[in-house]
Chains A and B, each alone.
Chain A
Amino acid sequence: MIFPQPMVRLTAVILQRDMDEVTRKLLNLGVMDFIDARGNEFSLASKLTEIKQKISGSDIGDLRSRIENLMESAHLPLPSPETLDAEQLAAVDSQLVQKDLDNLASEIRVIRDQQKDLQQDLNRKSEILRQTELFEQISGQAPRDSAVEVISGLVKKTRREAFSLALAAFPAVTQWGQPDESDLAVMLLYLKRDQTAIDQILDRFAWQAIEFPPELRGHRDEIVERLTREIRDIESRQKQLQQKAVETVKAREQWLRDSWKNLQMTGQYIRMQDSFGKTTETILFTGWIPRNLQSVTEKCIRETTLGRCYLEWAKPDGDPSVSPEKVPVKLSHIPLLKPFQWLVQNYSTPRYGSIDPTVLVAFTYLTMFGLMFGDAGHGFVLMVLGALTALLNRKAGGTIYDLGRLIFWCGGAAIVTGILFGSYFGYSWFPALWFNYHGIVSGHEGHGLVSDVYDILGITIRLGIFVIGAGIFLNIVNRIRSKSWFHLFFDKGGLFGGWFYAGGVYTSYYFVQSGYKTLPSDEIMLFAVLIPASVFVLKSPLEFFEEHKKHGKPFKATLLMDWIMHWIVELLELFSGYLSNTLSFMRIAGLGIAHVSLMTAFFQIAGGFDSPLASALILIFGNTLVIALEGLSAGIQSLRLNYYEFFSKYFCGSGKVYEPISLRRSN
């Protein structure tokens, strides 16, 4: 748990006839992070050729993404990775899939074209509606500057339908009057710009202009209502067509799901074989596997090939030819710690063989957060919010899910510290188990070890010393494991740096204990601070001699001056760096005090109101604001302290994430 999972490298040689079956088995197993057998990393690369595929991975990807988009358009979920089984993988006839997809696309296109025609009808209706709405009342000719023309006339009763149909291609509206024996009076409202075309229609229907009859006056609202109804009708037909397009895709759901599954598996199959190398008769592949899965993998390959294989296993540990940056890193933690693993990987992936700080981060992050946000009531709210966020995003997973779980943990930490400080939504409903934060910040003297604000600051500085000390210790462990002896001694977080820091801490403690009057004795100062500080003078010369040994770098007298300057600068950096790193932890107290002060301020504001309702509203608002603002600040500051004060002491990043080719992972 404290180090990444041990890995082992497999190099396998199998016969070509076993390749397909082995690929399928390894896909189902999904444990191997492949290395390109024809890449520079591999000594036999030049003797190997690539496996020719009938279809390229990018073509597979294109087809798959076409299916994904079509399924998305019909709100169909993609098949779960759990349903994939490489044994069911079938040869992909890309042209056939392409043709079927094109046919489906064409079917949808036909529907879209119908929708487009409807949309244009809707556009015309919308335009004439907009123009009609500009009239206060329709009672004859339109004003001269209007864009529309209003006329009235007679049309043969028998030609009413045909007349309406002819006008349908224009933004125009009609209002029919009472019929007489053979004719119908009609009011026609159209856009002036269509005058020529409308005139032609009127001629065709033997339009007979008449005085605006009283029965056709004043129908503006009726026309507006009719047009609105017609627009709604078109919209509803649009919806039906939209649904028809969805149903068209849904009708092919099973085929789409099966094709997607096969394409997804084929994509991974090709990807895996892309890293294989071929000789005349054999196939060679190589990659990394977690050590605990070595025997399962070996058994799988041997059983599949009936023993016709050569397998070679190599451990990276202690092998100087294997760079730790190239060994993939698998961090394995219990699910409860996953949010903290997310925080670590957000910074960087630890290098193989170095310390994986997930467990430590869980402790330091929560401690810091709890001290800054010590209120059991607020913690409870955070816990509920975190649990809800995680539950709602459980299926989708991802960042929001991890964030929800982290908030849940932070809420838990705040409840614990809230109980220790006796704070429940700013009230002291139960006595504090440790010290009363609110009381101390408000100026009431506490009891025991914590009696004023300075004591709170002292606690956070002690926490800082502990965290930085732990960082130095972890760096020493990392350096010993990687056999970096020079860095073990001369790193800022190395043995001499740690000695200097410990000496500095002791000197400061002594000085404070003496009431800021005296420093420790000369002998102690010599041992605690001066000796480790002096040893650093050797750092630059030793680096030079190493360079001289390797590359023959010549010595010049001016180098002496450089070395002294480097030493002075290094000491200054060491002193100021450790001092600021340690004091940086006072922000924990700062935010904790701010949390309490904000609550106190809201209590005072609420107390100023006579109405209990107003007071309650102020307190609800105050608590919400404090939870949101302080929760965010405390979360960010805890992260900052971990990343910059803790990780910077020992963390070896730039690791390569373990990414096996598997059907269960999205790639």
Chain B
Amino acid sequence: MGSVSRYSYINARLHALISTLLTEDFFIRMERTPSVDESLYFFQSTPYSFMPGIYARTGDLKSVEKSLTTYLFNEIRHLRRHAPTELHPLIAVLSGRIRYDAFKSSLRLWYDQSFRKRSIDDYTEYIPREIPLEGVSADAIINAPDQEALAALLRGTPYAVVLPGLEKLQESRTLLVSELALEEDYYRRLVDAAESFRGEERMRIKRLIAGEIDEVNLGRLMRMAPHLHDERLIESLHIAGGKRITASDFTHFTRSSDKSLFYDELLHRFGISAPLGKMEKSLEYTKILSNVSRSLDDEKKQLCVKTKVSSLFDAGLAVAYVRLREREIRRITHLLNAQYYGKVNAGGQV
């Protein structure tokens, strides 16, 4: 895409950042460490070297998690600053997910205190306020006195897509519909951002995005659909833009009597053959889904290597990097939480 000189910085920067992604060995070592304090010191010579200091200062894992989110946001913002203008919309949408997540957290806090009447005072400071929402502040959402006030706040912002779900909140008593609408809107924007590219580059970006959407759809079919009884709600779980899973799969799910066979057929599309008889347990689902994630990550890593060898810039590289980094941060967060809540008292064993 374009001349080498215009893209040389972003190309070099992305490859340098990709080289700092943590290895599988690193995670294995981390998993074998029983306490958060000890395992955080593995991060001393990684891009996350700020974590041990924050934990030592606060003793608070949630503060560490917040710092990870802010780190990722700032890193993407830095990329955008140094990228040619053609890449800005794509990078903005990539960073948009962090904003959407921050919005979702604010909305959940509002819901917890307004509907479930729970105290949220211990959680409000973990909303990363350094990540500005678009057209509304996290504090305004959290402190909105009622549903009408919240709706008034969100109208005219990119988050207005949650309003139809909020209107039915009294009867549904769940944010599910709003959150589904938010995620669907996010992927629609991502697919639109990919359309501005040309030729093979567009194909590559779309393939990466389609893989991501497939992963989300698969997760929804395995994790959410079995717990829902409303056929229309199950069908609404589908996000358009994927390749391996289509809207008709969600329709088939409700009609299929043998769910194991159904999943078997789905997983074949991801190149995974699993003994589905055992897949009744959620643990097996998690295992299968993480295998899917890993194979899709491999696809992203291959693109990184390929572009490094050819030395030519490809916007897919930005997509691949941001997603790999996001997943890495999610994995770190899960592991630290497992250590914090599960391992410490069990003498090093989960």
A241 interfacial contact with B, CB 8 Å: yes
Within 8 A of B (CB), among A45-74: 62, 65-66, 68-70, 72-73
Instruction: State whether A123 and B122 are in contact (beta carbons under 8 Å apart), knowing that A66-B33, A115-B60, A116-B60 are contacts in the complex.
Output: yes
* Complex CA distance for A191 and B120, rounded to whole angstroms: 11
Given contacts A73-B38, A127-B121, A147-B143, 14 further A-B contacts (CB under 8 A): A66-B33, A66-B38, A69-B38, A70-B37, A73-B41, A105-B38, A118-B59, A119-B60, A126-B125, A127-B124, A147-B139, A238-B57, A239-B57, A241-B59
Nearest residue, chain B, Cβ from A105: B35
Is B58 within 8 A of A238, CB to CB?
A: yes
Residue of B nearest to A241 (CB): B59
Residues of chain B within 8 A (CB-CB) of A99 are 347
Question: A194 to B121, Cβ gap below 8 A?
Answer: yes
> In the complex, what's the smallest C-beta–C-beta distance from B332 to chain A, in angstroms?
16
Measured in the bound complex, the distance between the Cα atoms of B114 and A380 in whole Å is 71
**Contact at B344–A119, with CB atoms within 8 Å?**
no
Which chain A residues border B36 with CB–CB below 8 Å? 112
Contacts of A102 in B (CB 8 A): 34, 347-348
- Complex CA gap A272/B309 in Å reads 39
A-B contact pairs, 21 of them (CB 8 A): A66-B33, A66-B34, A68-B41, A69-B33, A69-B38, A69-B42, A72-B44, A73-B52, A73-B56, A98-B348, A108-B37, A109-B37, A111-B59, A112-B37, A112-B55, A120-B122, A191-B121, A191-B143, A193-B145, A238-B59, A245-B37
Q: Which of A98, A124, A245 contacts B56 (CB 8 A)?
A: A245
What residues on B are CB-neighbors of A62 within 8 Å? 29, 32-33
Partner of B38, one of A70, A116, A197, A238: A70
State in angstroms the CA–CA spacing of A102 and B349 once bound together.
11
Question: B117 interface residue, CB < 8 Å from A?
Answer: yes
Residues of B within 8 A of A194 (CB): 119, 121
Q: Residues of B within 8 Å of A, CB-based: how many?
A: 39
Q: Give the 5 A-B residue pairs with the shortest CB-CB distance, closest first.
A: A115-B59, A147-B143, A112-B59, A123-B125, A69-B41
Q: Any chain A CB within 8 A of the CB of B142? A: yes
In the complex, the answer to whether B117 meets A196 with C-beta atoms within 8 Å is yes
CB-defined interface of A219-246 with B at 8 Å, one 1/0 digit per residue? 0000000000000000000110110010
Q: Which A residues are CB-close (under 8 A) to B38?
A: 66, 69-70, 73, 105
CB-based contact B143/A65 at 8 Å: no
B58 touches A170 (CB 8 A): no
CA A510 – CA B242 in complex, angstroms?
Answer: 72
Question: Is the Cβ of A197 less than 8 Å from the Cβ of B347?
Answer: no
B residues 8-62 in Cβ contact with A at 8 Å: 29, 32-42, 44, 52, 55-60
A192, CB-defined interface residue at 8 Å: yes
Chain A residue nearest in CB terms to B125: A123
Nearest chain-B residue to A112 (Cβ)? B59
Across the two chains, which residue of chain A brings its CB closest to B126? A123
Residue of B nearest to A106 (CB): B344
Contact string against B for A residues 107-138, beta-carbon threshold 8 Å, 1 for contact and 0 otherwise: 01101111110111001101100100000000
- Judged by a CB distance under 8 angstroms, whether B254 is at the interface is no
Report which of B32, B39, B122, B344 forms a contact with A109, defined as CB distance below 8 A. Answer: B344
B307-349 vs A, CB cutoff 8 Å, 1 = contact: the mask equals: 0000000000000000000000000000000000000100110
> How far does the Cβ of A258 sit from chain B's closest Cβ, in whole Å?
19
- Distance between Cα atoms of A113 and B113 in the complex (Å): 25
> Inside 8 A of A191's CB, which chain B residues have their CB?
121, 143
A169 close to B (CB within 8 Å):
yes
B63, CB-defined interface residue at 8 Å: yes
B63 touching A119 by the CB < 8 A rule?
yes
Chain B residues with CB under 8 Å of A169's CB are 119, 121
Cβ–Cβ contact B125 & A105, under 8 A:
no
Residue A290 at the chain B interface, CB threshold 8 Å: no
A136 CB to nearest chain B CB (Å): 18
Closest to A111 in B: B59
* A374 on interface, CB distance cutoff 8 Å: no
A126 and chain B: residue at smallest CB distance: B125
A170 touches B347 (CB 8 A): no
Known A105-B344, A123-B125; contact A197-B59, beta-carbon cutoff 8 A: no
In Å, the complex CA distance between A197 and B113 comes to: 11
From residue A38, how far is it (CB to closest CB) to chain B in Å?
Answer: 25
Contact of B113 among A108, A119, A193 (CB under 8 A): A193
Shortest Cβ distance from B69 into chain A, in angstroms? 16
Q: Which residue of A lies closest to B344 (CB)?
A: A109
B63 CB, min distance to chain A CBs, angstroms: 7
Instruction: Looking at the assembled complex, report how far the CB atom of B225 sits from the nearest CB atom of chain A, in whole angstroms.
Output: 34
The CA of A245 and the CA of B59, in the complex, are separated in Å by: 10
For residue A123, which residues in chain B have a CB less than 8 angstroms away from its CB? Answer: 122, 124-126
In whole angstroms, what is the CA distance A118 to B114 when docked?
27
Query: Is A404 an interface position by the 8 A CB rule?
Result: no
Inter-subunit contact A193/B143 (CB<8 Å) = yes
Q: Does A412 contact B (CB under 8 A)?
A: no
Contact B41 A113, beta carbon cutoff 8 Å: no
Nearest CB of chain B from residue A50's CB, rounded to whole Å: 23
Q: Which residues of A contact B52 (CB under 8 A)?
A: 73
